[in-house]
Structure 1
Amino acid sequence: MLSGGPLMLVVVALLGLVIAIYVISRNVKANKLAISEIKGSKEAEGEKTISESSSEEEEVAAFMALHLYLSKSRHDRESNVLTIERIQRRYSPWNAKIYSMNNILK
C-alpha cells in the first residue's frame, strides 16, 4: 500500500505553483500600473509630440501613396494564361517493379 508521501509531494507542488502564479500576477499588475503612470505624465508634458507624430504619419502616408501610384507603370503586364506542358517521366526501376508485382498477383 502506498504511503502519503507521493500525495504530499503533489499537494506541495500544487501549493507552490499557486503561490508562484499569485506573485507573478501581482508583479505584472504593478508593472502595468507603473507604465500607465509614466505614460500619463508624458502625455501631460508634451502634447506637441502627438501633433508632430501625426504630421509625420501623414507625410509617410502621402509618400507611400505616391510610390504605389508611380510604381504601377513599371510593372509588366501579364496575360494570366497558364501553359501546362506534358513531360515524359524518366525511367525508374521502381516503376518496373510495381508492374512485375501486378503480374505475379494475377
Structure 2
Amino acid sequence: MKDSEFHALVEGRYQFIEQAIDNCDTDIDCELNSGVVTLTFVNGSKIIINKQEPLHQIWVATRENGYHFDWKDGKWIDNRGGRELIELLSDACSKQSGEKVTLG
C-alpha cells in the first residue's frame, strides 16, 4: 500500500469515528489533533487512536490494552485478536463509559 492510500484510509476511518461519537447518546469528547484521535470520557479515562505510518497501522490504546490494526479485506483488523476496529472501539467505549455504545 502506498502512503497516500494509507492516509486516505485512516482519514476516512477517523471521520467515521468522529461522526459516530457525535451521534451517540453517551457523553464522549472526541478531539482530532495532529493525526491523533483522543476520546475522553466523563470519568476522565481516555482512548487514544493514532496512525503508524511506517507500519501502515492504526494503533489504539484503551484503559485495558493496546491494539494494532492492519488493513485487510477492506477493514481495519486487530493483528492479535482479529477484531474489527469499530467493533472493538464500541466495546471499549462501553466499558470506559459504563454505558452501551454502538459506533457502527
State the TM-score, normalizing by the size of structure 2. Answer: 0.23
More strand per residue: 2
Give the TM-score normalised by structure 1.
0.23
Larger proportion of helix:
1
The structure whose Rg is larger is 1
- Select the structure with the greater relative contact order (CA < 8 A; seq sep ≥ 6): 2
